[in-house]
Amino acid sequence: MPGTSLDVVDWTSVARSLVQDGWIRLESVVRGRTCARLVGAAPVTWEREPEVVGSVHQSAVSTGLYFDRAAISVREVGLAICDALTEARPPGTPPIPCFNEVRWSRSQEGAGPSITAHRDPPLCGGVIAIVTLFGQARFRVWSGADVVEWETTDGDLVILGGNGWPTEASRCPVHEAELPAVGDRMILTYRYNKGGPGADYFA
């Protein structure tokens, strides 16, 4: 789509990495103009996230929509990701279910976690796509016995395998993010809720 580099991504390699490793980072593939449109598409109903959910601690405000009610700029990016991955997936791998929820999250500079190490909840299926709309923060993914980390950049796209994809036994990889050291950071996360949009992910 215009304003991104998604059309030049090697999606076959991306799909292979997701199947083998459970995650991949695509650095700065969503360009500034598209990021600005995605920021502008956020609803104004921001709410503070609960500070503790189970064993997970977090510090952010967020707002969200059902995917099919989001602005066309939001839906275009989500559909581009799902369609490309479904077409590029290895033989025998199930299709990527289309996202049905989107959520914007914003965190302010500080010390400590934006969200501590966690897996997305049980009913989060398909893949999870996280776009950094602006801001830098330390992001980590546990990949087998290794921890991979980097400083996010504007336009980063991180894709994580969800629960039950690419196999029924697959689980979302453990990941976490720190608060930005300077300024704010905003992300847009695309998810497929197995229970349907708005359902309890922990049900």
What's the pLDDT score for residue 71?
A: 98
Show Cβ contacts of residue 185 under 8 Å, excluding neighbours closer than 6 positions. Answer: 106, 107, 114, 132, 134, 135, 136, 137, 152, 179
What's the pLDDT score for residue 112?
A: 79
Residue type, 53: V
Show Cβ contacts of residue 157 under 8 Å, excluding neighbours closer than 6 positions. Answer: 6, 25, 26, 29, 30, 81, 129, 130, 131, 132
Q: Measure the CA–CA gap between 22 and 166, rounded to whole angstroms.
A: 9
- What is 6-193's CATH number? 2.60.120.620
What's the pLDDT score for residue 2?
A: 47
What are the structural domain ranges in the chain? Answer: 6-193
Q: What is the pTM of this model?
A: 0.95
Residue 107's nearest CA partner among 148, 77, 67, 139 is: 139
Quick: pLDDT tens for 153-196.
999 999 999 999 999 999 999 999 999 989 999 999 999 999 99
Q: Measure the CA–CA gap between 25 and 13, rounded to whole angstroms.
A: 12
Measured in whole angstroms, the distance separating CA 10 from the mean position of its chain's CA atoms is 19
Q: Measure the CA–CA gap between 115 and 132, rounded to whole angstroms.
A: 15
Mean pLDDT by 10 residues, the chain (203 residues): 73 96 96 94 95 90 97 96 95 95 95 90 96 96 92 96 96 96 96 96 84
What's the pLDDT score for residue 187?
A: 98
What's the pLDDT score for residue 53?
A: 87
Outline where 43-138 has alpha helix (H).
Answer: 72-88
What's the pLDDT score for residue 145?
A: 82
Show Cβ contacts of residue 81 under 8 Å, excluding neighbours closer than 6 positions. Answer: 6, 99, 127, 129, 157, 159, 190
